[in-house]
Chain A
């Protein structure tokens, strides 16, 4: 059962992404409202994939990605950025820091499911 950590300050987006993730067989969604909350969830749960926003209070998504990549235990967890920042330089910056994929909002649910399945090694629903 893959555990997917959704790091997003917007309750609307958290609910929407959780809805989409329910369509990935046996997946379980764990929600975090910012980077600090995400680090807490990472230390208490076994996470298989992170879906992360960039603009968040307390700790933003880019900081979270760099911390995760710098940690020996979490460094291999795939991270997909889901953000309103759609410029090419934002994408390049996130990938350079360590994000595996970059999905600008508003998200296409099929595209999100396809990406998640790619990193979880599944075939989709």
Chain B
């Protein structure tokens, strides 16, 4: 009986020990679970802190790239403005170049001959083709009467062109004062009046006026004057005057030379007594 009781005690002790062992194992497992959870938490924290550092790095890079982009945008705007500026300057240079070509051609043609009628024809050509005038007259001072008389005209009947006295009306005043006249209102050009040109340019050799170019009407497609027209007017005022004056002198001297030559020939041919 005693033996039996001893076995029971031992079994009880064993069961108690086993239970304690079970408890202990459960505690370890719980602890293990907690530690696993903690490790997972720590791993997540570490990973998150890595992402944040990377995010910070990316943010910094984005900021720098944005700065660079803005700086490039500014540069692009500046270059575009410069480009526009160059394009405008190029157009100006181009226009200037064309204007100079016009002036060069006009000047070259005016001095290409010493024939008076040829010079007048060239003046007429320039006024028609380069200025775009439809009705105009070239008038010169007559040495004998000191009046202005037309020596060439376009779009006007010769009967419409009268003698004009120096100092009389717009044309006479331009001849007297040597200053160009430009009508403020170009609508007056639709009605021809011999004394009322829309433009009157004195033909001057230094300060000496030898005549005028009077423009009464422009071509249909020409609505007004631009810079090159005023340059052409200046050129005509000087160069046309010189060309007309020189050619007239040359033609006169040629005529005199022919007359003298005729006399000489007559004298040569005169029979000796």
Q: Which residue of B lies closest to A125 (CB)?
A: B94
Residues 1-26 of A, flagged 1 when their CB comes within 8 A of B and 0 if not, give 00000000011110110011000000
Which of B50-58, B79-87, B104-112, B263-271 lies at the interface with chain A? B104-112
Q: Which residues of B contact A20 (CB under 8 A)?
A: 98, 101
CA distance A22 to B129 in the complex (A): 20
User: Is there an interface contact between A86 and B221, defined as CB atoms closer than 8 Å?
Assistant: yes
Number of interface residues of A (CB under 8 A): 17
Q: Which of B33-41, B120-128, B171-179, B195-203 lies at the binding interface?
A: B120-128
Residues B98 and A84 in contact, CB atoms below 8 Å apart:
no
Give chain B's interface residue range (CB within 8 Å of chain A).
20 to 34
Among A12, A86, A105, the residue within 8 A (CB) of B106 is: A12
Which residue of the partner chain, among A13, A108, A109, A110, contacts B129 with CB atoms under 8 Å?
Answer: A13
Point out residues on A near B: beta carbons under 8 Å: 10-13, 15-16, 19-20, 84, 86-87, 104-106, 108-110
**Chain B residues within an 8 Å CB radius of A110:** 94-95, 98
Q: Report the nearest B residue to A87, measured CB to CB.
A: B220
Which residues of the partner chain A approach B112 to less than 8 Å between Cβ atoms?
A: 11
Interface centre among A106, A108, A109 (most CB of B within 10 A): A106
Which residues of B from 167 to 193 have beta carbons under 8 Å from A?
none
CA distance A104 to B219 in the complex (A): 9
Known contacts A16-B105, A105-B129, A105-B132; 13 further A-B pairs (Cβ under 8 A)? A12-B106, A12-B122, A12-B125, A12-B126, A15-B105, A16-B102, A16-B130, A84-B219, A86-B219, A105-B128, A106-B129, A106-B219, A109-B98
Nearest Cβ in chain B — how far from A19, in angstroms? 5
The yes or no answer to B222 lying at the interface (CB within 8 A) is: yes
**CB atoms of B129 and A84 under 8 A apart:** yes
How far apart are B254's CB and chain A's nearest CB, in angstroms?
22
Shortest Cβ gap from B26 to chain A (Å): 92
